[in-house]
Amino acid sequence: MNKNMRTIYRSFLTVLAVIIGILYFAGQISDPAAIVVGLFAGAFLITGVTSFCPTYLPCKLNTSKQTS
C-alpha cells in the first residue's frame, strides 16, 4: 500500500476526526447524525493515520510529494 496523500491533507483529516469526536462526546451530535458523522470521522482518522486514501485509486490520484 503506497502513500498517496500529502501531510497537510492528512493533518486536516485527523484534526477533523478529532473535532467530530469531541462534538460527539460533548453531546452536540446525537441520534442518526452521530452514526453517520462517526463513520466519516472513523474513515478520516484511518485515512489520515495510514496516508492512504482508497478512493484515490479508481481516479489514479496521488497528492503525495514525488521525489524525482
**Amino acid at site 40:** F
- The reply to whether the predicted model has a pTM over 0.75 is yes
pLDDT band at 67 (very low <50, low <70, confident <90, very high): low
The reported pLDDT for the residue numbered 41 is 93
Task: Please report the pLDDT score of residue 36 as a whole number.
Answer: 93
How many angstroms from the chain centroid is the CA of residue 25? 19
Give pLDDT tens digits for 4-52.
Answer: 888 898 899 999 999 999 999 999 988 898 999 999 999 999 998 998 8
pLDDT the model gives residue 68: 53
Query: Nearest-5° angle of CA 27, CA 22, CA 45?
Result: 130
